Amino acid sequence: MLGGLVAMHIPDGFLSVPVSVILWVLSAGVIAYALVRVRDDLGERQVPLMGVVAAAIFAGQMLNFPVAGGTSGHLVGAALAAILLGPWAAILVMTSVVSIQALLFQDGGLLALGGNIFNMGIVSVAVAYAVYVGVRKVSGGQRWAILAATFAAGWISLFVSSLAVALQLAASGASTASVAIPAMASIHALIGVGEGLITLGAVVFLLASRPDLLRAGAQRANNGALMLVGGLVLALTLAVLSPWASANPDGLERVAGDLGFLNKGTSGPLNIFAGYSIPGISDPSVATVLAGILGTLIVFGVALAVAFARRKRTSASN
Which pLDDT band, with edges at 50, 70 and 90, does 221 fall under? Answer: low
Pairing of strands 71-73, 65-67: antiparallel
**8 Å CB contact between 237 and 63:** no
Which pLDDT does position 315 carry in this prediction?
Answer: 43
**pLDDT for the residue 222:** 56
Cα Rg for the chain, rounded, in angstroms? 19
Q: Residue 98 and residue 114: Cα distance in Å, rounded?
A: 10
What does the H/E/C string look like for 49-114?
HHHHHHHHHHHHHCCCEEECCCEEECCCCHHHHHHHHCHHHHHHHHHHHHHHHHHHHCCCCCCCHH
147-204 pLDDT tens trace = 999 999 999 999 999 999 999 999 999 999 999 999 999 999 999 999 999 999 999 9
pLDDT given at position 140? 77
pLDDT at 275: 85
Average pLDDT of the segment spanning 55-79:
92
Phi, psi dihedrals of residue 75, rounded to the nearest 5°: -60, 135
Q: Shortest CA distance to 245 belongs to which of 61, 2, 58? A: 61
Measuring CA to CA, which residue among 150, 152, 151, 97 is closest to residue 122? 97
Whether residue 298 has pLDDT greater than 90: yes
pLDDT confidence bin for 224, thresholds 50/70/90: low
Structural contact between residues 239 and 296, judged by C-beta atoms closer than 8 angstroms:
yes
Are 45 and 224 in contact by the 8 Å Cβ rule? The answer is: yes
The answer to whether residue 4 scores a pLDDT higher than 50 is: no
Is residue 85 within 8 A of residue 41, CB to CB? The reply is no
Q: Taking residues 7-28, what's their average pLDDT?
A: 92
pTM for this predicted structure: 0.92
Give the chain's mean pLDDT.
88
Average pLDDT over residues 133-156: 90
Q: Would you say residue 220 has pLDDT above 60? A: no
Cα–Cα distance, 26 to 122 (Å, whole number): 10
Domain 17-129+211-317 has CATH 1.10.1760: yes
Q: In whole angstroms, give the CA distance from residue 207 to residue 224.
A: 16
